[in-house]
Chain A
Amino acid sequence: MRFIETRAALLFISPWILGFLIFTAWPVINSAYLSLTDYDVINDPSFIGFDNYVTLFQDPKVGLALRNTFLFTVMSVPTQLVVSLGLALLLNSATKATGFFRTAFFLPKMTPPVAVGILLLMLFNGQNGLINSFLGVFGIDGPAWTTDPDWVKPGLVLMSLWTVGSSVVIILAALRGVPQELYDSALVDGAGWWKRTLRITVPMISPTLFFLFIVDSINALQSFTEAYTAFFGAGNTTYSNDAALFYAIYLFQQAFEFLHMGYASALAWLLFIVIMAITGVQILVTRRFVHYEGGNS
């Protein structure tokens, strides 16, 4: 009986086991090996020891790409969290047409990232983009978002705010789960809106905020499509795109534009270590601010 059940279970999960062996386990092993080789796909890989890892630390573009990626992550993740929390709080206190507003906030998330990259170029165009025309109404002379290296990343951050819709939906679901009694007793005590938000709402939904903080950071560290669309690719030589060189973009270029498969594998392992380290630090530092109903586990 036990044996039959195990056999049936293995049949059901066999697709994943096969897929895991072919598309995860073997690639991980192969990637570790390739990172110690010089390999251009056409000729056989030649073993070069840790040379790729040495090169990596001397390659100025690696430093640049890491710096760009960190800056983008540090700027975009907290702003996205604050904006999506704000929108979710607003939605939660509204009584009418919440469905309409939720749709409005979520819809941009459906836009293919490549189209988001193109919209970025159009909306943030320094001369005649919509953003600068809008700023012009208030007499502000907007920067050259898409060409001035100092403004490229802020532009990407602002554009990323357009697609916070899914975070808004997640936070809103968490807000709806906060028990009403807590607010009722706070109201009896005469606590104002700010006090209730900071003392009750935020602690009660802190596990969700923590989850979004971690996941958004992991995603931001791997951002590729929007920046690649807007600042890289064939024919795109007119932009000062050093400022938008994210780590994932540099890795992609090394692998599939220069066919440096060995070096790209080493780059991938550095990214893995960086993400693990950052996630680890985030968990250690923020965990104590997270409140779990029924005790921390």
Chain B
Amino acid sequence: MKRLRKILTWAALSAFAVAFIYPFIWLLSASFKPRSEVFDHRILPETFTFDNYIRVWQEAPLALWMFNTLLVTALAAVTVTITSAMVAWGFAYFRFPGRGALFGVLLATMMLPGAVTMVPVFLIWNSLGMVGTLTPLWAQNLFGSAFYIFLLRQFFMGLPREPFEAAKIDGANNWTIFTRMALPLCRPAVVVTLLFEFQAAWTDLMRPLIYLRDSSTFTVPRGLKALLDQFGFGGEWHWEIVMTASVITTIPMIILFFLGQKHFVKGIATTGSKG
């Protein structure tokens, strides 16, 4: 009976795992098929070809898109992590009048749907002449982000105070205490923040849709949407091109996951329990 249950559990898990992984395999396989065989649903292509990859490379400034995305993503992740950690430390370590109220405001901003600020924020960047550049995609991160501040503060709050007080008596200033002691101690949370923001910035479509006009400034997801509109819907129905570009857009995220798997899983589990 117990054995039967074990086998059933295992069979069910395997079936679901196949269902979750199969779309990746299907997509990857399609990217190596000629146009006429894309929808034949064979796992291994009957005719194996690299033509789609060459064609995507010729049709789209893919290297440029990759570079733009990498730039935006790196700037977004690094700035948001540094500033959010600073702010989180400010809220976690110091005691000052109005701390609770200010933190309440911070939590309240997380409840505000992005749609409310979307138009006025666009108008700010527009008045600065930045629409059409990559700046609006990351520069807001210079000011930290409520979600990460919350996450990092939780972590900082878990640290014992005594070592910091001792360092202070030894003459260390606040900045040294933050960068040399607090930050290294909460490395896992810092890594989680970097990974989460890297993923968020890499996969974002809405902001590139709002702010980017010229194809040479596109990020990879924005470029993928353009390729879909051109080759998918544009009367040509070259789905093999669109699928190949989808593979290229997705692979960096898969690599990112395997590089930081433990941190991703832990980070997400914490988000849920702290909610």
A84 vs B23: C-alpha distance in the bound complex, in angstroms?
Answer: 18
Known contacts A10-B96, A19-B144; A24 and B109 CB within 8 A of each other: yes
- Closest chain-A Cβ to B49's Cβ sits at a distance in Å of 18
CB-CB contacts below 8 Å: B7-60 with A: 9-10, 12-13, 16-17, 20-24, 26-27, 30, 39, 41
Known contacts A94-B9, A106-B264, A173-B272; A112 and B120 CB within 8 A of each other: no
CB-CB contacts below 8 Å: A115-164 with B: 115, 118-119, 121-123, 125, 128-130, 133, 162
How many chain-A residues does the 8 Å CB contact rule pick out?
98
Q: Mark B104-133, 1 if CB is under 8 A from A, else 0.
A: 011001011111111111111010000000
The secondary-structure label for the interface of chain A is helix
Q: Tell which of A56-64, A73-81, A269-277 binds the partner.
A: A269-277
Does B64 belong to the interface (CB within 8 Å)? no
A114 vs B120: C-alpha distance in the bound complex, in angstroms?
Answer: 25
Asked if residues B229 and A272 are in contact (CB atoms below 8 Å), the reply is no
Known contacts A31-B116, A108-B20, A251-B115; A90 and B12 CB within 8 A of each other: yes
The secondary-structure label for the interface of chain B is helix
Contacting residues, chain A, for B272 (C-beta < 8 A): 169-171, 173-174, 208, 211-212
Q: Mark A202-234, 1 if CB is under 8 A from B, else 0.
A: 000000100110010010001011001100011
A74 vs B235: C-alpha distance in the bound complex, in angstroms?
Answer: 35
A276 vs B264: C-alpha distance in the bound complex, in angstroms?
Answer: 30
A276 vs B109: C-alpha distance in the bound complex, in angstroms?
Answer: 13
A276 vs B121: C-alpha distance in the bound complex, in angstroms?
Answer: 22
A212 vs B272: C-alpha distance in the bound complex, in angstroms?
Answer: 8
Does A240 belong to the interface (CB within 8 Å)? no
Asked if residues A24 and B117 are in contact (CB atoms below 8 Å), the reply is yes
Further pairs besides A28-B117, A113-B221: 9, Cβ < 8 Å: A9-B90, A18-B143, A24-B117, A106-B257, A107-B257, A112-B202, A162-B23, A234-B226, A256-B210
The 7 residue pairs across chains A and B that have the minimum distance between CB atoms: A19-B143, A12-B90, A170-B272, A9-B94, A27-B120, A173-B269, A112-B203
Q: Tell me the A residues contacting B by CB distance below 8 Å.
A: 5-6, 8-13, 15-20, 22-24, 26-28, 30-31, 34, 41, 87, 90-91, 93-96, 100-108, 110-115, 118-119, 121-123, 125, 128-130, 133, 162, 165-166, 169-174, 177, 193, 208, 211-212, 215, 218, 222, 224-225, 228-229, 233-238, 248, 251-252, 255-256, 261, 264-265, 267-269, 271-272, 275-276
Q: Tell me the B residues contacting A by CB distance below 8 Å.
A: 5-6, 9-10, 12-13, 16-17, 20-24, 26-27, 30, 39, 41, 83, 86-87, 89-91, 93-97, 99, 102, 105-106, 109, 111-124, 126, 140, 142-144, 146, 149, 174, 178, 199, 202-203, 205-206, 209-210, 220-221, 224-226, 228-230, 232-235, 239, 242-243, 246, 249-250, 253-254, 256-257, 261, 264-265, 268-273, 275
